[in-house]
Amino acid sequence: MDRREWVACEDVVLFVNAAVTSTGQREFRDGEQAQRMSLAFLHEYMVGNYRELYAACLALEINDHNAALVVRHLLLTSRDLPTATRRREGALIARRLELMAPQRVYRLFRELARLGVNNRRTRAIMRDWIAQRPDPTFDAVKYRSGVKAAARHAHLPVHGETGLVLFAPLRRLKGFKTPLFEAWRQAHYTQSALYDLPYTVAEGLAARHGVRRPEFLRRIAPKLTRLERLRLQEAGERLKVDEVRADLTAMPLTRLASYVLSLTREVRARRHDELHAALTAAARRAAVDASGTWGRVVAVLDDSFSSFGSTAKPQRPLAVALACHYLLGTLAGSYTALWTSGARDALMVRPNGPTRLGDRLIDALELRPDRLIVVSDGWDNAPPGLAAEVLRVWRARLDPAGATSVVHLNPVYDADDFGVKGIGAGVPTVGVRDAEDIPTLVELARFAEGRAGFEQLDRYLMARQERFLAGGAAR
């Protein structure tokens, strides 16, 4: 592999790590402005130098914030593209938009309208995505401003009552035949119609009517989605509204871990068995058919003070570590978890103390596992540099054949370095946002380590694109 290919491989891995971890929000050590500026530079650099690889990243586990930025940059810079490239990008964009939350897609459409991106391809993508929405009536009420902006920008035909809801002033509307539209109209004047609306629409109108919060939550409970129930769980417990209680056993793993950590330690202790069972069930769903296939696994998990994250993303790094703990326990044949604080009960962890990575790595390597997984922001500070030295000596003197594979998963983007902070030379570091992506990220680690070249990376991305697009075709 010549130097140019080596640089390209490194650049792609650098970008993927950033696109997995950063959401442009404040982190423990970086402010929001630094995060956004650093991320903006990476997107500009990638679309200008590696356009095809940049588009291929839509098929990877990058987060929705960065997926929207990739789509925006591709549509902003689509002039004079070859037909084959244009079609490939269009297919990747369409498939990715299918998987994104509707509110994020409508926000992207509003941003494209603000930027004046109104080429034929952009209008076709907006038209086709809106056409495949399962319930246009629901969208016109719940995402009214987004639907309105997209319809106006892409010159989409809007007929009948939908057009009246979107564009006619409310005072001119006398009544609708469509039940949801009529409920939306009446809810502006009467409280009883609130409970026929989606929760997010009804909430603002309930506040306008002065409806007491416990009464509103109790009556709107049948309309709540699974994730809305999870977000309202704590409020429901505080207000003694049992109707909004979520089925924790059906929640995604990392989101469930975030919810668990939002509870006080007293509540976690009281509901210990319930929370443990829910996290275990979520981990088994995420592992699919890979349960017990990873051999002997030891995990070093960071619960130092910096795992608090920030007020914008409270305890997010710790939530990722907790979710990884449960998933790795499912994937492993035998499993040992070592928290940097020395905690014994994973459900009771909290951000606390310095990052004692070096000491924990010594404990982990003494067990001679098949896989050593480190989940940390990479700031080894007790003492600084010990973790890198431990791993260097281990690889050079005690395990030169590489019998133990070491992978570092980092949930925090480092804006100054345009990537995720590593823990030592020769140790592959990849960004992680959701623990559910661990199997794919461990596979990607070989590119971060330099064991695979540019041609292999290109083939890997091509294969991921084919699977990604095939999933949309099958659906």
Q: Residue 454: what pLDDT?
A: 78
The upper half-sphere exposure of residue 79, i.e. CA atoms within 13 Å in the direction of its Cβ, equals: 4
Residue 39's φ and ψ, nearest 5 degrees, are -65, -40
Q: Residue 450: what pLDDT?
A: 61
Q: What is the chain's pLDDT, residue by residue, as a tens digit (475 residues)?
A: 567 777 888 899 899 999 999 999 999 989 999 999 999 999 999 999 999 999 999 999 899 999 999 999 999 998 888 989 999 999 999 999 999 999 999 999 999 999 999 889 999 999 999 999 999 999 999 999 999 999 999 999 998 899 999 998 777 778 899 999 999 999 999 999 999 999 999 999 999 999 999 999 999 999 998 888 888 887 887 888 888 888 887 889 999 999 999 999 999 999 999 999 999 999 999 998 889 999 999 999 999 999 999 999 999 999 999 999 999 999 999 999 999 999 999 999 999 999 999 999 999 999 999 999 999 999 988 888 999 999 999 999 999 988 999 999 999 999 988 889 999 888 899 999 999 998 888 877 777 766 667 788 888 899 999 999 987 655 5
Q: Residue 449: what pLDDT?
A: 65
CATH number for the segment(s) 255-452: 3.40.50
Stretch(es) of the chain classified as CATH 3.40.50: 255-452
Q: Residue 225: what pLDDT?
A: 87
CA distance 43 to 456: 23
Q: What residues contact residue 212 under an 8 Å CB cut-off, 6+ apart? A: none
Q: Residue 135: what pLDDT?
A: 93
Q: Residue 271: what pLDDT?
A: 92
Q: What is this structure's pTM? A: 0.90
Bridge partners (DSSP) of residue 336 are 298
Helix (H/G/I), strand (E/B), else coil: 131 = helix
Reading across the β-sheet that carries 405-410, which strands appear in turn? 334-339, 296-301, 371-375, 405-410, 429-431
Does the N-terminal peptide bond of residue 383 adopt cis geometry, omega within 30 degrees of 0? yes
Q: Residue 306: what pLDDT?
A: 94
